[in-house]
Chains A and B, each alone.
Chain A
């Protein structure tokens, strides 16, 4: 590694091939939606709690675009708490005293699961853009192989927000008999044109960085940090709400009394976004960002069912709990409600809660008591039916 690259970047690079979490290697090929196949792959994951004797208490947590498997433990690169440590843990809504929780880094990610930064066994070099495009269904297919390896036939629940919610829906459609309960949060049955638009801005920012080098930056000892930071800044705005931004930052100036009449970060919001962008590039791989945003763009659950979402859910036997946030404009309540309507039309068992909050899409990661009450109440009810409750 180049001496100029900071230590955490080296730490992140180490996680790509040799993650500090559990890791399962698969020697059999994995067929992908795009028509290609991976001859072999690996999935990095974390587990919490204890699997019961009849293996009926496993909950799979699916992470969002920039999340990873470190859902409830200290992150090996950033040293921060897990991204859902408020939700997952002893006595938490997803109670690790009662449930066995699995969280896997998605295929295409950069924390130990096979992704564009992983070494291509054919060349020994990072895959870069030689990795075939991955879809949400491919991610779920890979997770199913992991769950097989863990000897779990039927998951008690699959839970996730945003891109994680897409995986939850895909699980319920692809493997209805293997999902007892499903909790898709702040998500949609397909990525909208607006969402694809925002993702494209991010990808273009990455690819416009001269250090991206056609995707081969790792081989050349470079990193398109500026482009990725801009992508993150733009995306971050979409995760918040206008009112949350207004309350937090308004037009307040950052460490100064007056405007500079230049292009420094005069406003607090500018400095906040710059910080978000900078810390993100320390832990995330730029090509992974391209692959995962693409996976979200391609997601369309109804596509194989002549556009009829209710038909996609026709065989779904899981109990669903759909959750949305009132100020989420990236995955608005109407999108989540369309899932509920289609589940109704297919006769599925569904609950639906809209949480009142001004924190936007990001609310699913934050301290939202109503969210926690809903998840724990729904899981408790499902556990009673599953025979897991006391």
Chain B
């Protein structure tokens, strides 16, 4: 069953970021996945990288499903509960597609950098040209396959663009150790492309950060 789920997951173009994230995680490391959903990433990391993984998820349904599959996941809120973890408790603190749903993105990212030796953050790029043009042409809040919600029932409250995120990393003195930008059907943009191109054509970005 898990094998099948992995196959479906790998085939899901919207979650290629999970594969990208897994590529950054070193085998056997300690990982905290914040906003882990039903535990798909934790499962992938456990099976392919043998990591000691933990998760936090806001939705009770996601938590119950993950725990019933034997993953170590707690019900909790990234905005409140990260405070309880001690400094340097994990090798990697991961926030995948959750940044935009947090109340205090800056505090959350700072907490990730405190709890993990490295933080990995993936988020949908609100600077993408499709989103820009939807807003500009139709004058309405954009709805895309990555961001399928209407403005009135979205869990997302703090969208940012790749450029915005770069500014944030500067403000909190985070070092960008690595980054990947995804476009189209989960294709990787070349590393050498300038940030402006990433910001215009990227649909998702994955950043690996550290402190100092």
Q: Does A152 contact B (CB under 8 A)?
A: no
Say which one of A96-104, A237-245, A371-379 lies at the interface with B.
Answer: A371-379
Given contacts A345-B84, A356-B60, contact A350 B67 (CB under 8 A): no
Give the interface segment out of B20-28, B71-79, B98-106, B130-138.
B71-79
The answer, yes or no, to whether B177 is at the interface (CB within 8 Å) is no
- How far does the alpha carbon of A351 sit from the alpha carbon of B60 in the complex, in Å? 12
B70 at the interface (CB under 8 A from A): yes
A373 to B81, CA, bound (A): 25
Query: Contact mask B53-76 → A, CB, 8 Å, 1/0?
Result: 010000010011001111111111
B85 within 8 A of A: yes
Once the chains are docked, how many angstroms separate the CA of A327 from the CA of B85? 28
Q: A345-B84, A370-B64 are in contact. Are A380 and B70 (CB under 8 A)?
A: yes
Beyond A321-B67, A340-B76, A353-B75, 8 extra complex contacts between A and B, CB < 8 Å: A345-B84, A345-B85, A347-B86, A349-B54, A351-B67, A351-B73, A352-B67, A378-B70
Expressed in whole angstroms, the Cα–Cα distance for A322 and B84 within the complex equals: 16
Closest to A383 in B: B70
Q: Is the CB of B74 within 8 A of A350?
A: yes
Q: Tell whether A319 is near chain B: CB-to-CB under 8 Å.
A: yes
For A342-379 the 0/1 string (1 means CB < 8 A from B) is 10111101111111100000000000001001101110
Chain B residues contacting A340 (CB-CB under 8 Å) are 74, 76
The answer on a CB contact under 8 Å between B86 and A354 is no
Q: Give the interface SS of chain B, mostly helix, strand, loop or mixed.
A: mixed
8 tightest CB-CB pairs across the interface, nearest first? A381-B70, A377-B68, A352-B74, A341-B84, A344-B84, A373-B68, A351-B67, A351-B72
Q: Contact at B89–A374, with CB atoms within 8 Å?
A: no
Tell me the nearest residue of chain A to B53, going by C-beta. A349
| A355 CB contacts on chain B under 8 angstroms | 64
- Complex A-B: 15 CB contacts under 8 Å: A342-B84, A344-B84, A345-B84, A347-B89, A349-B54, A350-B54, A351-B72, A351-B73, A353-B75, A354-B60, A354-B75, A374-B64, A378-B68, A382-B70, A384-B70
B30–chain A nearest beta-carbon distance, Å: 9
Q: Residues 22-50 of chain A: 1 if any B CB is under 8 Å from the residue's CB, otherwise 0?
A: 00000000000000000000000000000
B19 to chain A, nearest CB (A): 23
Given the known interface contacts A351-B72, A351-B73, A373-B68, the answer about A344 and B63 at a Cβ–Cβ threshold of 8 Å is no
**Chain A, interface SS category:** helix
Number of chain A interface residues as a range: 20 to 34
**Chain A contacts for B71, CB-based, 8 A:** 351, 381
Chain B residues with CB under 8 Å of A353's CB are 60, 63-64, 67, 75
Chain A residues in 8 Å Cβ range of B81: 341, 344
A341 to B63, CA, bound (A): 16
**A373-B64, A378-B67 are known contacts. Are A349 and B72 too (CB-CB below 8 A)?**
yes
State the Cβ distance, A162 to closest chain B Cβ, in Å.
20
> Is B72 a contact partner of A374 (Cβ separation < 8 A)?
no
Task: Name the residue on A nearest B80 (C-beta).
Answer: A341
Complex alpha-carbon distance, A373 and B69, angstroms: 9
Q: How far is the CB of A183 from chain B (nearest CB, A)?
A: 11
Q: Of residues A340, A344, A370, A384, which shows the largest number of chain B Cβ atoms within 10 Å of its Cβ?
A: A344
- From A322, which residue of chain B is reached at the shortest CB distance? B74
Which residues of B, 27-57, contact A by the 8 Å Cβ criterion?
52, 54
| Contact B72 A319, beta carbon cutoff 8 Å | yes
Rounded to whole angstroms, the CA-CA distance of A14 and B68 in the bound complex is: 42
Chain B residues 79-115 with CB under 8 Å of chain A are 81, 84-86, 89
Closest chain-A Cβ to B70's Cβ sits at a distance in Å of 2
Asked if A352 meets B69 with Cβ closer than 8 Å, knowing A341-B81, A345-B84, the reply is no
Complexed CA–CA distance, A382 and B67 (Å): 11
Residues in B with CB closer than 8 Å to A321 are: 67
A148 to chain B, nearest CB (A): 30
Q: Which residues in window 280-326 of A have CB below 8 A to B?
A: 319, 321-322
Chain A's closest residue to B71 (CB) is A381
Residue on A with the closest CB to B68? A377
Nearest chain A CB to B43's CB is how many angstroms away?
11
Which residues in B have their C-beta under 8 angstroms from that of A378? Answer: 67-68, 70
